[in-house]
Chain A
């Protein structure tokens, strides 16, 4: 464009002047649109959470409220509470291990098999997604409980009775693994989508056996996915209620039933909030892992 054409030059400068204004307005609209969910999250979640946390960090004395760690001191010195926390950690660790251990082979099979059977396997593996956990709990009592279907079948072929997992920590573990399998499987399957068939075949061509393909080609590519799956599972398990409550032992109890009982039956809301904050801190560690891992994935994809 030459300066001999002042009209077009003016138009160009007008355009140039107008463009940032339009951008600003679009930005304002964007902010307004985002403001609603942000306000909801702040007002309905973050603000009450902050109030609750402050509540656990203070005691009411005749002179008014003052800062105190008494509630946490009680939790951390109370053997009963610590046993409940420990059981929750243990059940979560065992269930997460079992879930990853179960879903990885199923996902590998579904990813690399082209038979019709794979479709049925997928349907069966995803079926628990559609069963509410309360139904699952009662079904498990009927099947795995004492004198349940499994016991009856074993007896029919002359085998001895099994010690029932019902009302022991293994009750909720079996239920939680069954309940969380579809979600874990879907995440792992999605991760396996990143593993290209070509890479696997190239490794096979140079003589890698199945185990080395898994170790050197597949696992490095899905480590992030496995971590994400583990985070999701841990966050869900830590706050599980129905299955631990219906299938698990009375004492120690998992944090979900423990918190409910503390606020409803023992009538100590602040103590229940302290338990919730402790539970939240454990979950926050995994949430941080999750955020870090997704951020890293995104950076890698952008590169």
Chain B
């Protein structure tokens, strides 16, 4: 075969590969736009798509990666509202229904409280933020620890127990710098919550005032300065989430705050040993959040899209949310297989505080670097 023939052959092959897509595009295509990373795209492609297509033959789930470019697609759906145009999107995997402003009032998003989903009542109430967003996977900062050195029963469950344990076991705890990777950052934010009466509502996106707010943060930094001589190093902080996990895996430290999904994935991949335990503080949890699915009310095949939402909330898929991507299930643990819920029961959040971004981020980063980090001279 000469080169020209090879090229012709290849082009024909590529066209044949495209043909079924073109043929099906007209009929039963359900478009799902993903903002998440490749692990989320893989999850939709390898877990949800086969399950959905097996249950609804003749329909095809089209998983599209939109990463940070979801806004134009949302705008397109909004523009198509009220006309008979197909917005060509059925579901966004992670999207804030409050954006763009006014979209809810115009009726862009399906109201899930009224949509009559079979699995809607199974949802853990603490994960719900809006009727227009359907939570399905969550991540939160938790404490990961080595159960061969600290039994689950003895693990600290409150901030006071945690700081007492850190001081009693110098060098056995590390958290990463608050500017990179959220696990250390949310540990710092938990200290700030602690120092201000464990009331997350004090901190809102629009109420940062220089000076006054800095005094609130400084109270949290004092708590961190208190434990600084007892953290690994002493007074050393890793540069990112993954390095804390690495130090835990190498047996250097006994405990570190980690993102639940990263750490569970690390256990599933063998980076962290099976003997890794996880615990969430019960007096006030570390910050975290859930990804909300949203559905435009003008989507084609709306009934089928609702069936897709029900499928994602089914105990089978929610169990996979835990085992495949290491995220929290949105439905309550009691609906999941017993072995799984027993293993991760200590992770179940009673509440999921959030800490606002905006000017708070720079105030926390600068304040921590200037006061807490240089506190211990090595």
Q: Which residues of A are interface residues toward B (Cβ below 8 A)? A: 80, 83, 141-142, 145-148, 167-168, 245-246, 249-252, 261, 264-268
Q: Which residues of B contact A147 (CB under 8 A)?
A: 250-252
Residues of the B chain whose Cβ atoms lie less than 8 Å from the Cβ of A80 = 369-370, 374
> Across the interface, do B366 and A167 meet the contact criterion of CB distance under 8 Å?
no
| A266-B366 CB under 8 A given contacts A167-B233, A250-B373, A261-B179 | yes
Q: CA–CA, A240 to B51, complex, Å? A: 49
Asked whether A250 lies within 8 Å of B378 as measured between CB atoms, the reply is no
Q: Which 5 A-B pairs have the closest CB atoms?
A: A251-B373, A265-B365, A167-B236, A265-B179, A267-B362
* B239 and A246 within 8 A (CB): yes
Across the interface, do A249 and B236 meet the contact criterion of CB distance under 8 Å?
yes
Assign chain B's interface to a size class.
Answer: 20 to 34
Please report the C-alpha to C-alpha distance between residue A246 and residue B374 in the assembled complex, in whole angstroms. 18
Within B185-243, the residues touching A (CB, 8 Å) are: 233, 236-240, 243
Q: Decide: A167 near B238, CB < 8 A? Known: A145-B250, A261-B179.
A: yes
Q: Is B361 close to A, CB under 8 A?
A: yes
Q: Are B239 and A245 in contact (CB under 8 A)?
A: yes
Q: Bound state CA distance, A168 and B377, in angstroms?
A: 11
Instruction: Check B103 for interface membership: any CB of A closer than 8 A.
Output: no
B179 CB contacts on chain A under 8 angstroms? 261, 264-265
B177 in the interface, Cβ–Cβ < 8 Å?
yes
- Residues from chain B with a CB closer than 8 A to the CB of A168 are 378
For A249, give its contact among B240, B251, B252, B378 (CB under 8 Å): B378
A264 and B361 CA atoms in complex are apart in Å by 10
Given A146-B250, A147-B251, A148-B250; A251-B369 close (CB under 8 Å): yes
Within 8 Å CB of A249, what residues of B?
236, 378
With a CB–CB cut-off of 8 A, which chain A residues contact B250? 142, 145-148
At the interface, is chain A mostly helix, strand, loop or mixed? loop
Closest to A137 in B: B239
Q: Which residues on A sit within 8 Å (CB–CB) of B361?
A: 265, 267
Contacts A251-B373, A265-B361 given; indicate if A246 touches B243 (C-beta within 8 A).
yes
Whether A261 touches B247, Cβ cut-off 8 Å, given contacts A246-B239, A267-B362, is no
By a beta-carbon cutoff of 8 Å, the part of chain B in contact with chain A is: 177, 179, 233, 236-240, 243, 246-247, 250-252, 359, 361-362, 365-366, 369-370, 373-374, 378
Q: In the complex, A261 Cα to B362 Cα: how many Å?
A: 9
Nearest CB in chain B to that of A145: its residue: B250
Q: Is the CB of B177 within 8 A of A250?
A: yes
Smallest distance from the beta carbon of A138 to chain B beta carbons, Å?
8
- Measured between alpha carbons, how far is A148 from B250 in the docked complex, in Å? 7
> Known pairs A147-B250, A148-B250, A250-B237. 15 more at Cβ < 8 A?
A142-B246, A145-B246, A145-B250, A167-B238, A249-B236, A250-B177, A250-B373, A251-B374, A252-B374, A261-B179, A264-B179, A265-B361, A266-B365, A267-B359, A267-B361
Contact between B236 and A250, CB atoms less than 8 A apart: yes
Shortest B188–chain A CB gap in Å is 12
A and B contact pairs by CB, cutoff 8 A, 17 listed: A80-B370, A83-B374, A141-B243, A141-B246, A142-B250, A145-B252, A146-B247, A146-B252, A167-B233, A167-B236, A245-B239, A246-B239, A246-B240, A249-B236, A250-B236, A251-B369, A265-B365
Interface contact B252-A265, CB-CB below 8 Å: no
- In angstroms, Cα B369 to Cα A266, docked, is 10
**How far is B239's CA from A146's CA once the two chains are assembled, in angstroms?**
15
A268 to B370, CA, bound (A): 15
Are B369 and A250 within 8 A (Cβ)?
A: yes
Instruction: Considering the complex, give the chain A residue whose CB is closest to the CB of B243.
Output: A141
List of A residues within 8 angstroms of B243 by Cβ: 141, 246
Query: Which residues of the other chain, A, contact B236 by a CB distance below 8 angstroms?
Result: 167, 249-250
**How many angstroms from the CA of A245 to the CA of B243 in the assembled complex?**
12
Residues of A within 8 A of B233 (CB): 167
In the complex, are the beta carbons of B238 and A265 less than 8 A apart?
Answer: no
Nearest neighbor of A246 in chain B, beta-carbon distance: B239
Most buried by B among A141, A168, A245: A141
A240 to B196 Cα, complex, angstroms = 39
Q: When the two chains form their complex, are residues A261 and B238 in contact, meaning their CB atoms are under 8 A apart?
A: no
Residue of B nearest to A253 (CB): B369
For A138, the closest partner residue in chain B by CB is B246
Q: In the complex the two chains form, is A261's CB within 8 Å of B365's CB?
A: yes
| A85 nearest CB across to chain B (Å) | 15
Nearest residue, chain A, Cβ from B365? A265
> A141 to chain B: which residues have CB within 8 Å?
243, 246
> Residues of A contacting B247 with CB < 8 Å?
145-146
Q: Which residue of chain B lies nearest to A148 when distances are taken between CB atoms in the complex?
A: B250
In Å, the complex CA distance between A141 and B359 comes to 34
Chain B residues with Cβ below 8 Å from A261 are 179, 365, 369
What residues of B have a CB within 8 angstroms of the CB of A245 in the complex? 239
Q: Chain B: which residue is nearest A84 at the CB level?
A: B369
Min CB gap A267→B, angstroms: 4
The complex places the Cα of A141 from the Cα of B243 at a distance, in Å, of 9
Per the bound structure, the CA–CA distance linking A167 and B231 in Å amounts to: 13
Shortest Cβ distance from A80 into chain B, in angstroms? 6
A169 to chain B, nearest CB (A): 10
In the complex, A167 Cα to B250 Cα: how many Å?
Answer: 15
Chain A residues with CB under 8 Å of B362's CB are: 265-268
A267 to B252, CA, bound (A): 34
Closest A residue by C-beta to B366: A266
Residue of A nearest to B253 (CB): A146
Q: How far does the Cβ of B332 sit from chain A's closest Cβ, in whole Å?
A: 37
Q: Chain A nearest CB: distance from B148 CB in Å?
A: 14
Could you tell me the distance between the alpha carbons of A267 and B208 in the complex, rounded to whole angstroms? 15
C-alpha gap A167/B246 in the complex (Å): 14
Cβ of B373: which chain A residues have Cβ within 8 Å of it?
Answer: 250-251
Which residues of A sit under 8 angstroms from B359, Cβ to Cβ? 267
CB-CB under 8 A from A246, the residues of chain B are 239-240, 243
Nearest CB in chain A: distance from B298 CB, A: 39
Q: Min CB distance, A262 to chain B, in Å? A: 8
Task: Please indicate the chain B residues that have their CB under 8 angstroms from the CB of A167 in the complex.
Answer: 233, 236-238
